[in-house]
Amino acid sequence: MRPSDFDKGLQPERTELAWRRTTLSLAVGSLVAMRLLPTILGDPLWFIPGLVGLLIAVGLWSATRHRYARVSHATITHGDRAELPDGKLPLWLAIATFAIGLFGMCVLVVITAVR
């Protein structure tokens, strides 16, 4: 492969597409949770983890779009000297996923204790 065949804008695009799939998966899972959890578990409070997940998906979608615009512009204009993004986005996604799971467990404990 010749050096001129390499397109510096493709990796940020592939990364953005991967984040888009992650965001869509989170949104679909949240919508399914909002629909099924209250019905299956019998308490209307179970729609809240799905709603929180949907809000996180919207925020994640926005953050990845801004990240892609910043990284692709820097890569195209500065080439190899472009500053790469930090790991804040995966960290926040992991924290949010953990918080949703913890909240769901707390709600389960409260509902079980009340019954």
Alpha carbon 32 to its chain centroid, in Å, reads 16
The 10s digit of each residue's pLDDT in 61-112 is 998 888 888 777 776 666 666 666 778 888 888 898 898 788 878 877 887 8
CB atoms within 10 A of CB 26: 21
CA geometry: angle at 82 spanning 78 and 86, to 5°?
Answer: 155
Give the span between the Cα atoms of 112 and 41, in whole angstroms: 11
Q: What is the model's pLDDT at position 79?
A: 64
User: The pTM is what?
Assistant: 0.71
| The two three-digit tokens of residue 8, written as one number | 């510096």
Domain extent listing, the chain: 9-114
Give the span between the Cα atoms of 19 and 25, in whole angstroms: 10
The 10s digit of each residue's pLDDT in 3-28 is 556 666 677 788 888 989 999 999 99
